[in-house]
Chains A and B, each alone.
Chain A
């Protein structure tokens, strides 16, 4: 079963704009992770945020986590055409032992 739901399902922006994707989940978590998947490839880990953290940065990526609302957001600033991919959030439920449950994903298209 899919634990997380990403919103929007698809997003199309111009190069240089910011992209924001949201994720909602259902159970208590140890951590929440964001992954990127280019067409025909495996998933690439972007950021892991633990349940006691509220915000994390990595380069042009900013992730927030609100455990009271069971939601997270991923912001990509100054997007590039190379950011075109599907983005998934995944939750490691409390007591889950690093067993990830993935959301449905957001397809991001960055146009020149």
Chain B
């Protein structure tokens, strides 16, 4: 089966600019996750979707980050305006359901803020 697809792989922007990341999960996976991974740390969950509804966005900085999952398939994560501390790898993952399931990760988007 095809894995989780993410684009772009790399993005360089200046602070205060906006950026968007795209994720296509594994076909049939109802649950989609966005993580932020800062260099040298483990991933931190930003938002979890179940189909097209938000399950948890408690760690999403809502003043600058937004995410949507229209039609319960693809998802986009946006940052506007970007800050220097947003430099990280943004990982998308999906799982078949919401409990006791392994998550399948894409290769991420590496974001650098100048």
Contacts and interface: CB of A to CB of B under 8 A. Distances in A.
The yes or no verdict on A and B being binding partners is yes
B17 to A, nearest CB: 24
Interface residues of B, number: 27
Majority SS at the chain A contact face:
strand
Interface string B88-113: 00010101011111111111101000
Given A88-B42, A104-B41, A104-B42, A98 B107 contact: no
A45 B45 contact: no
Contacts of A42: 4, 91, 93, 105-108
Interface string A81-112: 00000001010100001111111110000000
B48 interface: yes
Contacts of A101: 45
A28 B4 CA distance: 30
Interface of A: 2, 4, 30-31, 33, 35, 40-45, 48, 50, 88, 90, 92, 97-105
11 contacts: A31-B100, A42-B4, A42-B108, A44-B105, A48-B100, A97-B48, A98-B97, A98-B100, A98-B101, A99-B48, A104-B42
Interface of B: 4, 31, 33, 41-45, 48, 55-56, 91, 93, 95, 97-108, 110
